[in-house]
Structure 1
Amino acid sequence: MLSVIYVSVADPLIGTEDIAALVGDAQRNNARDGLTGALIYNGHNFMQLLEGPADKVEACLGAIRGDARHSGMVEIRRRPVDGRDFAEWSMLYSGDFHGHDDALHRLAAGAGLDPQDERMMSNFMALGRRGGDGDGGSGCIDGARR
Protein backbone atom coordinates (compact mmCIF):
# COMPACT_ATOMS: atom_id res chain seq x y z
CA MET A 1 0.00 0.00 0.00
CA LEU A 2 1.13 3.56 -0.73
CA SER A 3 0.52 6.76 1.25
CA VAL A 4 1.11 10.19 -0.31
CA ILE A 5 0.59 13.66 1.14
CA TYR A 6 0.66 16.72 -1.10
CA VAL A 7 -0.04 20.42 -0.79
CA SER A 8 -1.22 22.79 -3.50
CA VAL A 9 -2.51 26.31 -4.07
CA ALA A 10 -6.27 26.60 -4.55
CA ASP A 11 -7.70 28.56 -7.44
CA PRO A 12 -8.51 31.97 -5.91
CA LEU A 13 -12.03 31.79 -7.38
CA ILE A 14 -12.90 28.44 -5.80
CA GLY A 15 -16.06 28.57 -3.72
CA THR A 16 -17.91 26.54 -1.15
CA GLU A 17 -19.97 24.74 -3.81
CA ASP A 18 -16.78 23.84 -5.71
CA ILE A 19 -15.27 22.36 -2.54
CA ALA A 20 -18.42 20.35 -1.83
CA ALA A 21 -18.39 18.96 -5.38
CA LEU A 22 -14.69 18.12 -5.12
CA VAL A 23 -15.21 16.27 -1.82
CA GLY A 24 -18.26 14.41 -3.13
CA ASP A 25 -16.41 13.28 -6.25
CA ALA A 26 -13.41 12.19 -4.17
CA GLN A 27 -15.61 10.21 -1.78
CA ARG A 28 -17.34 8.34 -4.61
CA ASN A 29 -14.19 7.70 -6.65
CA ASN A 30 -12.10 6.67 -3.66
CA ALA A 31 -14.76 4.26 -2.41
CA ARG A 32 -14.86 2.70 -5.88
CA ASP A 33 -11.05 2.42 -6.08
CA GLY A 34 -10.33 1.27 -2.52
CA LEU A 35 -8.63 4.54 -1.55
CA THR A 36 -8.92 6.35 1.75
CA GLY A 37 -7.66 9.72 2.91
CA ALA A 38 -8.25 13.23 4.12
CA LEU A 39 -8.38 16.71 2.63
CA ILE A 40 -7.95 20.02 4.39
CA TYR A 41 -8.47 23.51 3.00
CA ASN A 42 -7.47 26.71 4.76
CA GLY A 43 -8.95 29.17 2.27
CA HIS A 44 -5.76 29.26 0.20
CA ASN A 45 -4.08 25.85 0.20
CA PHE A 46 -5.12 22.23 0.04
CA MET A 47 -3.35 19.42 1.80
CA GLN A 48 -4.44 15.90 1.01
CA LEU A 49 -3.42 12.43 2.09
CA LEU A 50 -4.24 9.51 -0.20
CA GLU A 51 -3.63 5.90 0.74
CA GLY A 52 -4.35 2.57 -0.85
CA PRO A 53 -3.08 0.27 -3.59
CA ALA A 54 -0.11 1.96 -5.27
CA ASP A 55 -1.53 1.77 -8.81
CA LYS A 56 -4.83 3.34 -7.68
CA VAL A 57 -3.04 6.09 -5.71
CA GLU A 58 -0.86 6.90 -8.74
CA ALA A 59 -3.89 7.03 -11.07
CA CYS A 60 -5.73 9.31 -8.66
CA LEU A 61 -2.72 11.61 -8.30
CA GLY A 62 -2.51 11.83 -12.10
CA ALA A 63 -6.12 13.00 -12.24
CA ILE A 64 -5.56 15.45 -9.38
CA ARG A 65 -2.55 17.00 -11.13
CA GLY A 66 -4.81 17.87 -14.08
CA ASP A 67 -7.53 19.48 -11.94
CA ALA A 68 -7.84 23.22 -12.62
CA ARG A 69 -9.21 23.92 -9.12
CA HIS A 70 -5.64 24.06 -7.83
CA SER A 71 -2.05 24.38 -9.02
CA GLY A 72 1.52 23.87 -7.89
CA MET A 73 1.01 20.41 -6.41
CA VAL A 74 4.03 19.47 -4.26
CA GLU A 75 4.38 16.02 -2.71
CA ILE A 76 5.64 16.35 0.85
CA ARG A 77 5.55 12.70 1.86
CA ARG A 78 5.46 9.44 -0.07
CA ARG A 79 5.95 6.08 1.60
CA PRO A 80 4.84 2.47 1.53
CA VAL A 81 2.59 1.64 4.49
CA ASP A 82 1.20 -1.52 6.05
CA GLY A 83 -1.87 0.19 7.53
CA ARG A 84 -4.07 3.17 6.80
CA ASP A 85 -4.20 6.39 8.82
CA PHE A 86 -7.69 7.26 7.52
CA ALA A 87 -9.11 3.75 7.11
CA GLU A 88 -12.65 4.78 8.08
CA TRP A 89 -13.09 7.40 5.36
CA SER A 90 -13.06 7.34 1.59
CA MET A 91 -12.29 11.06 1.99
CA LEU A 92 -12.49 12.95 5.27
CA TYR A 93 -12.76 16.70 4.71
CA SER A 94 -11.97 19.53 7.10
CA GLY A 95 -12.37 23.17 6.18
CA ASP A 96 -11.53 24.05 9.78
CA PHE A 97 -7.77 23.51 9.88
CA HIS A 98 -6.52 26.89 11.02
CA GLY A 99 -3.32 27.99 12.70
CA HIS A 100 -1.06 26.34 10.14
CA ASP A 101 -1.27 28.85 7.29
CA ASP A 102 2.44 29.70 7.30
CA ALA A 103 3.45 26.04 7.17
CA LEU A 104 1.01 25.27 4.35
CA HIS A 105 2.14 28.31 2.33
CA ARG A 106 5.79 27.34 2.83
CA LEU A 107 5.18 23.75 1.76
CA ALA A 108 3.11 24.82 -1.25
CA ALA A 109 6.03 27.02 -2.32
CA GLY A 110 8.12 23.87 -2.62
CA ALA A 111 10.01 23.98 0.64
CA GLY A 112 10.76 20.65 2.25
CA LEU A 113 9.49 19.53 5.62
CA ASP A 114 11.36 20.99 8.55
CA PRO A 115 11.01 20.58 12.31
CA GLN A 116 8.47 23.44 12.47
CA ASP A 117 6.11 21.43 10.29
CA GLU A 118 5.94 18.54 12.76
CA ARG A 119 3.05 20.06 14.72
CA MET A 120 1.02 20.73 11.59
CA MET A 121 1.55 17.19 10.30
CA SER A 122 0.68 15.73 13.71
CA ASN A 123 -2.56 17.72 13.79
CA PHE A 124 -3.40 16.63 10.24
CA MET A 125 -2.83 12.97 11.06
CA ALA A 126 -4.90 13.37 14.25
CA LEU A 127 -7.96 14.02 12.08
CA GLY A 128 -8.02 10.30 11.33
CA ARG A 129 -7.85 9.33 14.99
CA ARG A 130 -10.40 11.74 16.45
CA GLY A 131 -13.22 10.63 14.17
CA GLY A 132 -13.69 7.37 16.04
CA ASP A 133 -16.23 9.02 18.37
CA GLY A 134 -18.79 9.18 15.57
CA ASP A 135 -18.84 12.88 14.80
CA GLY A 136 -15.83 13.06 12.46
CA GLY A 137 -14.41 16.07 14.26
CA SER A 138 -15.30 19.72 14.00
CA GLY A 139 -15.87 20.94 10.47
CA CYS A 140 -15.43 17.49 8.94
CA ILE A 141 -17.54 15.75 6.37
CA ASP A 142 -17.64 12.11 7.35
CA GLY A 143 -20.55 10.82 5.32
CA ALA A 144 -18.33 8.45 3.37
CA ARG A 145 -17.17 6.35 6.28
CA ARG A 146 -16.73 2.70 5.57
Structure 2
Amino acid sequence: MRLVPTVLVVDDTASIRFLIRTNLELAGFEVREAVDGIDCIEQLRADAAAGTLPDAVTVDEMMPRQGGMVTVRAIRADPALADLTVLMVTTQNMPMDIKRGMEAGADVYVTKPFDPDELIATITDLIDSEG
Protein backbone atom coordinates (compact mmCIF):
# COMPACT_ATOMS: atom_id res chain seq x y z
CA MET A 1 0.00 0.00 0.00
CA ARG A 2 1.25 3.49 -0.83
CA LEU A 3 1.53 6.27 1.69
CA VAL A 4 -1.85 7.62 0.54
CA PRO A 5 -4.13 4.78 -0.57
CA THR A 6 -6.12 5.33 -3.76
CA VAL A 7 -9.66 4.15 -4.51
CA LEU A 8 -11.46 4.22 -7.86
CA VAL A 9 -15.18 4.83 -7.22
CA VAL A 10 -17.38 3.51 -10.04
CA ASP A 11 -21.03 4.59 -9.97
CA ASP A 12 -23.32 6.26 -12.50
CA THR A 13 -25.00 8.36 -9.78
CA ALA A 14 -23.04 11.54 -9.12
CA SER A 15 -24.43 11.94 -5.59
CA ILE A 16 -23.25 8.43 -4.60
CA ARG A 17 -19.79 9.09 -6.07
CA PHE A 18 -19.71 12.37 -4.11
CA LEU A 19 -20.76 10.64 -0.86
CA ILE A 20 -18.15 7.91 -1.17
CA ARG A 21 -15.47 10.35 -2.38
CA THR A 22 -16.07 12.81 0.46
CA ASN A 23 -15.93 10.14 3.15
CA LEU A 24 -12.83 8.51 1.67
CA GLU A 25 -11.04 11.84 1.31
CA LEU A 26 -11.88 12.76 4.91
CA ALA A 27 -10.29 9.43 5.91
CA GLY A 28 -7.11 10.30 4.00
CA PHE A 29 -7.65 8.45 0.71
CA GLU A 30 -7.00 9.72 -2.79
CA VAL A 31 -10.11 9.15 -4.91
CA ARG A 32 -10.64 8.75 -8.63
CA GLU A 33 -14.05 8.34 -10.28
CA ALA A 34 -15.57 6.44 -13.19
CA VAL A 35 -19.17 6.75 -14.39
CA ASP A 36 -19.71 3.15 -15.55
CA GLY A 37 -17.99 -0.16 -16.13
CA ILE A 38 -16.50 0.75 -19.50
CA ASP A 39 -15.02 3.96 -18.07
CA CYS A 40 -13.68 1.91 -15.15
CA ILE A 41 -11.93 -0.68 -17.31
CA GLU A 42 -10.47 2.00 -19.60
CA GLN A 43 -9.09 3.91 -16.60
CA LEU A 44 -7.70 0.77 -14.96
CA ARG A 45 -5.93 -0.36 -18.14
CA ALA A 46 -4.38 3.11 -18.51
CA ASP A 47 -3.39 3.01 -14.81
CA ALA A 48 -1.83 -0.45 -15.26
CA ALA A 49 0.21 0.78 -18.22
CA ALA A 50 1.39 3.77 -16.17
CA GLY A 51 2.03 1.71 -13.03
CA THR A 52 -0.55 3.70 -11.04
CA LEU A 53 -3.30 1.19 -10.26
CA PRO A 54 -5.54 2.12 -7.33
CA ASP A 55 -5.42 0.15 -4.10
CA ALA A 56 -9.15 -0.65 -4.33
CA VAL A 57 -12.16 -0.24 -6.61
CA THR A 58 -15.80 0.19 -5.56
CA VAL A 59 -18.25 -0.88 -8.27
CA ASP A 60 -22.00 -0.33 -8.52
CA GLU A 61 -24.09 -3.01 -10.27
CA MET A 62 -26.80 -1.04 -12.05
CA MET A 63 -25.01 1.25 -14.54
CA PRO A 64 -25.53 2.16 -18.20
CA ARG A 65 -23.26 0.69 -20.88
CA GLN A 66 -21.71 -1.90 -18.54
CA GLY A 67 -22.88 -3.02 -15.12
CA GLY A 68 -20.89 -4.08 -12.11
CA MET A 69 -20.98 -7.87 -12.50
CA VAL A 70 -19.58 -7.66 -16.04
CA THR A 71 -17.01 -5.10 -14.86
CA VAL A 72 -15.81 -7.26 -11.96
CA ARG A 73 -15.49 -10.27 -14.30
CA ALA A 74 -13.49 -8.11 -16.74
CA ILE A 75 -11.16 -7.02 -13.93
CA ARG A 76 -10.61 -10.61 -12.80
CA ALA A 77 -10.03 -11.80 -16.39
CA ASP A 78 -7.31 -9.22 -17.10
CA PRO A 79 -3.93 -10.38 -15.73
CA ALA A 80 -2.83 -6.75 -15.20
CA LEU A 81 -5.92 -6.05 -13.07
CA ALA A 82 -6.85 -9.43 -11.57
CA ASP A 83 -5.27 -8.81 -8.16
CA LEU A 84 -7.09 -5.54 -7.48
CA THR A 85 -9.24 -5.28 -4.36
CA VAL A 86 -12.84 -4.95 -5.57
CA LEU A 87 -15.93 -4.04 -3.55
CA MET A 88 -19.39 -4.16 -5.04
CA VAL A 89 -21.41 -1.27 -3.57
CA THR A 90 -24.97 -1.60 -4.83
CA THR A 91 -28.68 -1.51 -4.05
CA GLN A 92 -29.03 -5.08 -5.36
CA ASN A 93 -29.40 -6.85 -2.01
CA MET A 94 -31.14 -10.18 -2.65
CA PRO A 95 -29.16 -13.28 -1.62
CA MET A 96 -28.96 -14.27 -5.31
CA ASP A 97 -27.41 -10.85 -6.14
CA ILE A 98 -24.83 -11.16 -3.39
CA LYS A 99 -23.96 -14.71 -4.51
CA ARG A 100 -23.56 -13.54 -8.13
CA GLY A 101 -21.36 -10.63 -7.05
CA MET A 102 -19.07 -12.86 -5.05
CA GLU A 103 -18.96 -15.44 -7.85
CA ALA A 104 -18.05 -12.66 -10.30
CA GLY A 105 -14.99 -12.00 -8.15
CA ALA A 106 -15.87 -9.22 -5.70
CA ASP A 107 -13.84 -9.33 -2.49
CA VAL A 108 -16.73 -7.80 -0.54
CA TYR A 109 -20.38 -7.04 -1.34
CA VAL A 110 -21.81 -3.92 0.34
CA THR A 111 -25.46 -2.98 -0.03
CA LYS A 112 -26.84 0.56 -0.20
CA PRO A 113 -27.69 2.32 1.93
CA PHE A 114 -24.41 1.77 3.75
CA ASP A 115 -22.76 3.26 6.81
CA PRO A 116 -19.90 5.42 5.46
CA ASP A 117 -17.69 4.62 8.47
CA GLU A 118 -18.20 0.90 7.93
CA LEU A 119 -17.38 1.24 4.23
CA ILE A 120 -14.15 3.12 5.07
CA ALA A 121 -13.22 0.46 7.66
CA THR A 122 -13.92 -2.34 5.19
CA ILE A 123 -11.80 -0.72 2.46
CA THR A 124 -9.00 -0.01 4.94
CA ASP A 125 -9.03 -3.60 6.22
CA LEU A 126 -8.96 -5.03 2.69
CA ILE A 127 -6.08 -2.79 1.60
CA ASP A 128 -4.13 -3.51 4.81
CA SER A 129 -4.58 -7.28 4.36
CA GLU A 130 -3.31 -7.04 0.76
CA GLY A 131 -0.26 -4.97 1.66
In terms of fraction of residues, the more helix-rich structure is: 2
Q: Which has the higher contact order (CA 8 A, sep 6+)?
A: 1
| TM score, norm. by length of structure 1 | 0.33
State which structure, 1 or 2, has the greater radius of gyration over its C-alpha atoms: 1
